[in-house]
Amino acid sequence: MTLTLFRTADDTRKLFKALTQIKTVENIFPTGDINVYSPSFMIDYDADLIHCNYLYCDTTGLYYFVSPPVLIDGRRMELNCTCDYLMSFANDILNCNATVIRRENYRGETGATNVPDTKLPVDPKRFFYDGKKAAVLNANEGLNYFVAINGG
Amino acid sequence: MQLNSEIWGTDEQQSAAVSGFNIDTYGIAKSSLDTCDTLGHYKVAHGTSVPIDQTVNYWQLWDKSPFNKLVFIRKDGNNNHIHTVVKSIKPKSIFCCMMPPQNANIYFNKNYRYTQLWEDGIFEPNVANAYNNRGEIITKFNYNQIIARFTFVVYLRDENGNPTGSPISKTTTTNCSIYGFFHNIEDNVPVREKYMITGVDLELFVITPQGQSGYAPNYVIYPVSGALIETPQPNYYYTDSNYKTYIRGASLIGGGISSAGGYGAQVGAFGQSNHGEYWGYDPDNHWELKNFINANNQYIDYFEFTGTYEDMLSQCASLGFWFKEDLIGGSTIPTAADPIITGENCTNDRIIMPIIENGQTTGRYLRGTAAGRSSQAQWGANWRDNVGYTGDKPYKSDASDRGDLTTVFHRASLGGSLNYYLFSPTELQNLVININSGYQPATQEQFTIDFKGTNPADYIANVLYFPDGFVCPKVDSTTFTSVKIGAVTFTFPVGVEKANVEAGYYKEFAPIPVSPEYYSFMDYAPYTTISLYIPFCGTVDLDPSIYMGHTVTVRLYIDYLTGSCTGVVLRDGLATDTISGSCGVTIPLTALATGSYQNAIKQAEISVKQAEIQRKTAWLGAIGATGTLIGGIATGNPLAIAGGVVGVVGAANAIESANLRKESAVYTLDHTAPAVENVSTASPANAIGLDYDVHMLIKRPLYLGGYDSEIYSHTVGNACMLNSPLSSFSGLTVCADADLSGITAPAEIKSAILSALQSGVYI
């Protein structure tokens, strides 16, 4: 199996991570049981790989987060990996239908909608008044006293 | 009823149609044209994506549409045809017409996005609503009201069967009628062998209430021949140096193309003086988009009608817009020259609606009532009603009002056994003097005859004082210097007026528009509150969801017989709220009897002023409370007047003591709505000029300092409720739930994916 090691600075929650390839390590063979989704690989020590944090394995076809390597005797390194299922299944995930309750962009549109957002930081102490007034139209002038009289 | 998506295509179909508009494969220089991005975006040359309005609709042309199979012929400087006939299958492009706002701003979902710069490349906007920068629709697309008129370019054939000479006529000919072209035989020779129809000019018009109009303020219609697209201009008739005409297979014929209004792309007639540039496809250069400088070096797209008359109708129907079949100049021809009724009200069998299915014209059509009752026409009506194209099942998703929303207020004169007068203070005093000392019956019997033995003051049923601006109207300009009380005539030096007592008489205040600030949920409760103070009545709380974006008008209905009044709040002509109050102050009649009337009048005026002050005070206190304030208490009790407790004071006290805070039953707030506080020294209140104005106070929220909408969107996300494939989203996306079918992975992994989606991922 061939391992491709990368560095990535992207958030772990990102589906498509930007990867900087460091090295490819070939001819890796299992030395024990391998859990496909959390494998450990034993490779020859390589100083360039000390700070790699990401890995792709051609045999499994999966992407993995790599914990800081364990340097062991015999000039070897142990890479303990955890499957990055988001990147590994990214294209399949994109095809899934979902009910989304928070989003940054939807078809390019940004901004709030009319769904109330209880997390939006509204100032609890400050507000502003928007005042309007309206005068009576056709204010009439005349005699002020209305008198009803029984007479005639 | 057919679904909207079954007519104009699903999102996927429209996406495919848009992506099919890739003319790179036809050799168009990339610098001139760009491919379309995903649905809802067009890329312009400098790389910016321009989103389009969600209400946009467009459709592909029928495979057999003439605009999908066009040829070029070239003319030389002498207007003679050079028969370079190159037949080519044009890209299956989206037919559209221009409907820009005057400044060519592009809006997406009512949010301003981009000002389209036509120099950047070709942009073929689709038929859509247009919005201004306040998110208000200024141009509504209405599919049903855009009609097409076709004019046909007819040539004589030369000996080789090619078009020759100048076109005989655009609409019909005396030599060859369109109908005759297909059906007539002269001298045993089909007419079509003598003539040929080489092109169709299409003009689009909008139907106005007055009928067809070649130019309408809200729709900038461009005469289109083979989909000639022009840049939007503030004034269609005039050009500037940036005015470009993009020609996708347009006919450029000597003499030009004229529309009914005499405006437009008259290429030959106006030439370069009216248009900055002509751009068209050069068939001799790999269809590269080319700027034609020399108007004489023109390229013409044409196709030849060889089918039947019904085929011609199909060709016209392939363009997708309503048209009419009419008899013009002896020729039956598809046109739109007469005012016609299209859309869901169509009943005339001469009116034709092209059938559009799955986002593509079909060449088939419906006539008359069948067209009007079709789902397609109904959806076109929904556009007019601003529902917009959603691609979903038909349901109402907008806030457009419906139905009869006008409240009718009735008025009627009130008769009765009493006479109603309007007195000045002086004359009222004279009345009292007359009663007290002016009337001197000679005998007790005379007194009995005159007043039936009762106190003359008893004949005065009521005396009320009304403030300036709200006095009872008078019957006419007549003044009466004598008034009968009982059977006795009393005279008044100056005179009094007769009151015009009418049920339904009201004073109306100037309308107040209630406009949103944030165009989001922030404009509604509990974030935004609205208080409305109505003179003499008190304060009502208005529900922002009812009034936001509408106009509030207040009417004060005054009962002059009792002094009570009712404030009516109207939302765009519909009465939505009422509040009771007291406008008139009763003058205690007992004071008349005691002879201390002058003091009573003074006290009443003082009381009115006190009431005004207290009204203001009560209102100040009422601003802060969010509980519903009941109307002012109408008290005509003279003693109460003397005590100065009038109007809203009592209710205001109730509010202050209650100090309610409106709890939202629906929304639980983390960062809570602004805490309601009583306003004790609100400067807006101090700034009140007139006492008798309606005052509206809208209390609007503010964001906390340091709020950054972009960072917030990226880290917290904007609240929504959207159901869509995740590919429709980008950036932070938080799901309530998702269907993970299609992911081939163990259950544990799927569970972990779902958990990640629910806590938020970056797509």
B427's tokens: 């004359």
Nearest to A95 among B111, B511, B742 (CB): B742
Residue A12 at interface with chain B, using a CB cutoff of 8 Å: no
pLDDT band at B613 (very low <50, low <70, confident <90, very high): low
Least Cα separation, residue B306 to chain A (angstroms) = 45
Please name the residue that has the structure tokens 């106190």.
B455
Q: Which two tokens stand for residue B552?
A: 């509030």
Task: Report the alpha-carbon distance of residue B437 to residue B588 in Å, rounded.
Answer: 19
Which of B720, B740, B741, B757 has the highest number of chain A CBs within 10 A, making it the mutation to test binding with A? B720
pLDDT classification of A67: cutoffs 50, 70, 90: very high
Instruction: Look at B591 and B632; give whichever has higher pLDDT.
Output: B591
Minimum Cα–Cα distance from B716: chain A residue: A102
What percentage of chain B carries pLDDT values higher than 70? 43
Query: In Å, how far from its chain's centre is CA A134?
Result: 50
Mutate to test the interface with B, among A84, A97, A146 (most CBs of B within 10 A): A146
**Residue A111 to chain B, least CA–CA distance (Å):** 7
d(C-alpha B108, C-alpha A152), whole Å: 73
pLDDT for position B11 = 58
pLDDT band, residue B526 (cuts 50/70/90): confident
Q: Is the torsion defined by CA of B609, B612, B614, B617 positive or negative?
A: negative
Question: With 90 as the cut, is the pLDDT of residue B582 above it?
Answer: no
Rounded (to 5) percent helix, strand, coil in chain B: 25, 35, 45
Phi, psi (5° rounding) for residue A142?
170, -160
B485: pLDDT confidence band, cut at 50, 70 and 90?
confident
> pLDDT tier at B408 (50, 70, 90 boundaries)?
low
Tokens encoding B691? 């006492």
Q: Give the residue on A whose Cα is nearest the Cα of B679.
A: A129
Bond prior to B526 in cis (omega within 30° of 0): yes
CA B470 and chain centroid, separation: 36
Of A99, A107, A115, the CB nearest to B40: A107
Chain A partners of B451 at a C-beta cutoff of 8 Å? none
Selecting from B460, B486, B762 the residue whose C-beta is nearest the C-beta of A14 gives B762
Please name the member of B560, B730, B757 whose beta carbon is closest to the beta carbon of A104.
B730
Q: B730 by DSSP, 3-state: which?
A: strand
CA distance linking residue B95 with residue A12, whole number of Å: 44
Q: What is the CA radius of gyration of chain B?
A: 38
What contacts B336, CB < 8 A, 6 or more positions away? Answer: B147, B148, B149, B203, B205, B212, B322, B323, B324
Residue B327 pLDDT > 80, yes or no? no
**Residues in chain A, overall count:** 152
* Residues with Cβ within 8 Å of residue B42, at least 6 apart in sequence: B34, B36, B49, B50, B52, B123, B124
Mutate to test the interface with B, among A37, A84, A89, A104 (most CBs of B within 10 A): A104
Range with lowest mean pLDDT among B301-315, B499-513, B592-606: B592-606
**Look-up: residue for tokens 């009962």?**
B559
Higher pLDDT, B490 or B627: B490
d(CA B475, CA B471): 12
Beta-sheet pairing, B529-534 with B694-703? antiparallel
DSSP label at residue A140: B
Q: Is B47 left (phi over 0), alpha (psi -120 to 50) or beta?
A: left
Contacts of B572 (CB under 8 A, 6+ apart): B401, B405, B550, B551
Question: Residue B613, SS3?
Answer: helix
Who among B702, B718, B759 is closest to A113 (CB)? B718
Report pTM: 0.45
Model confidence at B300: pLDDT above 60: no
Overall residue count recorded for chain B in this entry: 763
pLDDT value at residue B412: 64
Mark yes or no for CB contact A107/B693 under 8 Å: no
Position with higher pLDDT, B60 vs B255: B60
Task: Flag the least confident range among A22-26, B23-27, B736-740.
Answer: B23-27
- Pairwise CB contact (< 8 Å): B702 & A113: no
C-alpha span between B574 and B555 (Å, rounded): 12
Torsion of CA B238, B171, B215, B41, to 10 degrees: -80
Helical spans, DSSP H, in B659-708: 683-686
Give me the mean pLDDT over the B233-241 stretch: 31
Query: Hey, are the CB atoms on B718 and A129 less than 8 Å from each other?
Result: no
At B551-573, the pLDDT tens digits run 899 998 888 888 888 889 998 87
Write the DSSP symbol of residue B171. S
User: Per-residue confidence at B397, pLDDT binned at 50, 70, 90?
Assistant: very low
Nearest to B738 among A97, A113, A116 (CB): A97
Question: What part of A 47-76 touches B (C-beta under 8 Å)?
Answer: none
Confidence of residue A105 (pLDDT cuts 50, 70, 90): confident
For residue B22, count other CB atoms closer than 10 A to its CB: 15
| Smallest CA–CA distance from B695 into chain A, residue | A133
CB contact under 8 A, A103 and B461: no
CB contact under 8 A, A148 and B734: no
Which band of pLDDT confidence, cut at 50, 70 and 90, is reported for residue A13?
Answer: very high
pLDDT at B745 over 50: yes
**Who wins on pLDDT, B515 or B97?**
B515
Q: Are residues A123 and B483, on separate chains, in Cβ contact within 8 Å?
A: no
For B157-199, how does the pLDDT look when each residue is reduced to its tens digit (9 = 90+)? 777 776 666 666 545 445 566 777 777 766 666 677 777 776 5
Confidence band (pLDDT; 50, 70, 90) for B649? very low
Output the CA–CA distances (angstroms, integers) from residue B230 to B152, B182, B246, B278, B280, in the order listed: 21, 33, 6, 9, 12
Map tokens 């003082």 to a residue.
B606
Say whether residue A120 is in contact with chain B using an 8 A CB cutoff: yes
CB B20 within 8 A of CB B91: yes
| pLDDT for the residue B274 | 34
pLDDT at B685 > cutoff 80: no
Residue B343's pLDDT is what? 82
pLDDT reading at B576 higher than 60: yes
Joined together, the tokens standing for residue B439 give 């009337």
Sign of CA dihedral B213, B217, B220, B223: positive
B45 C-beta neighbours (distance < 10 Å), count:
16
The answer to whether B61 and B91 have CB atoms below 8 angstroms apart is no
B383 and B143 Cβ atoms separated by less than 8 Å:
yes
Chain B residue closest to A92 (CA)?
Answer: B743
Helices (H), B595-669: 597-624, 638-643, 649-658
ipTM value: 0.87
Cβ distance B569 to B682 under 8 Å? no
State whether the Cα torsion A97-A100-A105-A110 is positive or negative. Answer: positive
**Tokens for B485?**
């009380």
Q: What is the DSSP string of B426-466?
A: HHHHHHHHIIIII---SSHHHHHHHHTTS-GGGGEEEEEE-
- Whether A96 and B739 lie within 8 Å, measured CB to CB: yes
The per-residue pLDDT for range A39-65, each reduced to its tens digit, is 998 888 999 889 899 999 998 999 999
pLDDT score recorded for residue B583? 81
**Helix or strand or coil: residue B756?**
helix
Question: What's residue B319's pLDDT?
Answer: 72
**Cα–Cα–Cα angle for B164, B165, B168, rounded to 5 degrees:** 105
Spatial CB neighbours of B545, under 8 Å, sequence gap ≥ 6: B524, B525
- Given an 8 Å threshold on Cβ–Cβ distance, is B587 in contact with A145? yes
What is the Rg, in whole angstroms, of the alpha carbon atoms belonging to chain A?
34
- B471, B696, B725 member nearest A142 (Cβ): B471
- CB contacts, 8 Å: A14 with chain B: 761-762
Confidence of residue B468 (pLDDT cuts 50, 70, 90): confident
Burial pattern B58-84, b for ≥16 Cβ within 10 A else e, equals bbbbbeebbbbbbbbbbbeeeeebeee
Mean pLDDT across B348-372? 85
Q: What is the mean pLDDT of residues B682-693?
A: 38
With cut-offs at 50, 70 and 90, classify the pLDDT of residue B114: very low
